[in-house]
A and B are shown apart, each in its own frame.
Chain A
């Protein structure tokens, strides 16, 4: 009978539909483990970058806040203390011997002490820190615009990215060291609010927030803002550094572009 056939067909289609839905959902988890899927989804990052640059350009400023908005305790995330012997020795003598090198594709490689950095013109900004996890915290940062330091080192025309090398080792004890690192392109690196910060809320940067110097890139998420910086390197491309994706968290699968 036609009705029986129709009924059977409908049952069959309903089962296909139900199975399809279940497969899709558990399938998405399975798919997530395939590198080509992550790469394909990651292509969207380029679209997001282009769209956001179209609106924000190179100079749109992140909102700045009032003193009253500052959080009493600025939440620290990631490494709270690099705790290596070398780092602890620097903490003990107030970072008097700390050096930040500027190397790679520059005309004048630099090695800056904390005092030399503080002697440069500074910028103070009360900004909102947005963590990739979803929370926000407001703090007052003082530091040297990265553009000033880059100008002093005279960036070569081939340079496209600024890489920040850090003193915190992310690898487990006994494993091959994996130091935290991050990178920005030159547009974001020379943004007026991108600073090498050495003060938080008017006091020297605490250890948990990245002493003695951390990056502030106010249009980006927190993981871009490397702490415990001891080296700045200008490069043409990022593939030769560590996992090759431009940062410690990027090497773990996070997007390089972190404006969203």
Chain B
């Protein structure tokens, strides 16, 4: 296990070198993206709460949601349920019913998870679309830059050696042992793959499914509906994308902390990253 000194990067065990880790474009794009994703997720939950149910196909078959959050007034008070298909889970307090200023209230996601906190669809939409534009432009500029300046080829595309080393890297990560010294100069194969999937897979997918929910975009590009199997399926995929981003975020934070929180955070702000100098060994 990494010691707390390691986590805070206070006590490097031996001689160190400072390397330039992240280009300024990467750093700016990273933080703009982080803010956008937070606003998008929370305002997205606000929008979802206006009709907390997901369906498959073009239209909503109201009696057959694939996921739904409902409230039910029982003999012992208001109960919140989450339905996955026909399967019912009591989620009182978190999903379906949660406290709003101390009062149990029917709502999909709780007030602390939504932007704005109270039920306010119009404002949730304003935040969502403003952040969506910034997210799209920022992502597009970063992707173009990464292709143009070779960041994609040099740092993100896994080499044959990376792919061969993948099983080993997975095991090392599970043991919470991270690359050191020269090996820490580059992204490892797991990093490369997850960043590639998120930037060039999940990002475009969340945008495209979001646009498929727009009736005007469906008039301009009916292929979108064909591609995703209908507007309601697109909405469901959009929701799954949002939680994939959230899952990525959680793992990302854990990895950042365990592999040296301060060093990582600093490198994403100043660009400079400290690695152990193992050349003297």
Contact = CB atoms under 8 A, between A and B. Distances in A.
Interface stretch (A24-32, A107-115, A148-156, A226-234): A24-32
B36 interface: no
Interface in A26-41: 26, 28-29, 32, 38, 41
B10 A52 contact: no
Interface residues of A, number: 49
A189 interface: no
Nearest to A33: B116
A139 to B, nearest CB: 9
A253 B123 contact: yes
Interface in B202-233: 211, 213-222, 225, 231-232
B67 to A, nearest CB: 12
B48 interface: yes
B115 A25 contact: yes
A100 interface: no
A120 interface: no
B60 interface: yes
A259 B231 contact: no
B83 interface: no
Nearest to B112: A25
A3 B10 contact: yes
Interface stretch (A62-70, A168-176, A201-209): A62-70
Contacts of B213: 130, 134, 260
A138 B58 contact: yes
A71 interface: yes
Q: Is the interface of B mostly helix, strand, loop or mixed?
A: helix
Contacts of A42: 126
B150 interface: no
A42 B221 CA distance: 25
A122 B115 CA distance: 44
Given A63-B222, A134-B50, A259 B215 contact: yes
A150 to B, nearest CB: 21
Nearest to A43: B130
A116 interface: no
B32 to A, nearest CB: 14
Contacts of B148: none
- Output the residue of A56, A136, A259 with the most chain B CB within 10 A: A136
Nearest to B225: A63
B39 interface: yes
A221 interface: yes
Given A63-B219, A137-B60, 14 more contacts: A6-B10, A29-B116, A55-B220, A56-B220, A69-B58, A128-B231, A136-B58, A136-B59, A137-B59, A218-B219, A220-B215, A249-B122, A253-B126, A254-B122
Interface of A: 3, 6-7, 10, 25-26, 28-29, 32, 38, 41-42, 44-45, 47-48, 52, 55-57, 60-63, 65, 69, 71, 75, 128, 130-138, 218-221, 249, 252-255, 259-260
16 contacts: A6-B10, A10-B8, A10-B262, A38-B123, A41-B130, A47-B133, A56-B219, A65-B58, A131-B51, A134-B50, A135-B55, A135-B60, A218-B215, A249-B122, A253-B123, A255-B126
